[in-house]
């Protein structure tokens, strides 16, 4: 059957390779620069993972996006996806901000807890012990340079 006579669903499944080792269904068609699969359906771009989820599971709830639990952006297996908020999806990722949000201690090993965590006016989390140490060092440098504190 020619590519032009196939249904959207048939064209979708033609681009899916099942990886039995980890259960991922790898998209073999075109991918975005970020590694997500996609194809054209009715003259519109359709993200492959969203198409698979809606085809097999149903509509994605309004305001939610799909998080790849397997961390493979080319995977279109709906069992590997969970509808979540943008914030949760971002924090589960591997970005710098996600890594920092998961940190339970500052780089010097002090805990981020109720008593040792300072939230800056810009919303950044700081360690009170480290801030105090830096402040003391600054005051010492000022004294040594002849300034006053």
pLDDT band at 110 (very low <50, low <70, confident <90, very high): very high
Instruction: Give the per-residue pLDDT at 135.
Output: 86
Span 37-51, pLDDT tens digits: 999 988 899 999 999
Q: Which is more confidently placed, 136 or 75?
A: 75
C-alpha to C-alpha distance for 39 and 51, rounded to whole angstroms = 10
Q: Which is more confidently placed, 52 or 42?
A: 52
Average pLDDT of the residues in 117-121: 90
Please check whether residue 57 is in contact with residue 78, taking contact to mean a CB–CB distance below 8 angstroms: yes
pTM to 2 decimal places: 0.67
Average pLDDT of the residues in 49-63: 97
Residues 6+ apart with CB under 8 A from 104: 111, 112
């Amino acid at each position: 059957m020619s590519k032009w006579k196939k249904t959207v669903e048939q064209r979708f499944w033609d681009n899916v390779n099942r990886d039995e080792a980890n259960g991922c269904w790898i998209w073999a068609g075109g991918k975005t620069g970020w590694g997500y699969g996609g194809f054209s359906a009715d003259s519109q771009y359709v993200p492959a993972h969203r198409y698979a989820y809606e085809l097999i599971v149903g509509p994605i709830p309004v305001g939610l996006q799909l998080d790849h639990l397997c961390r493979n952006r080319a995977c279109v297996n709906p069992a590997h996806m969970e509808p979540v908020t943008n914030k949760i999806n971002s924090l589960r990722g591997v970005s710098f901000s996600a890594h920092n949000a998961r940190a339970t201690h500052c780089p010097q090993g002090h805990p981020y807890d109720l008593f040792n965590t300072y939230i800056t006016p810009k919303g950044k989390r700081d360690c009170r012990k480290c801030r105090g140490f830096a402040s003391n060092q600054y005051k010492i440098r000022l004294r040594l340079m002849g300034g006053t504190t």
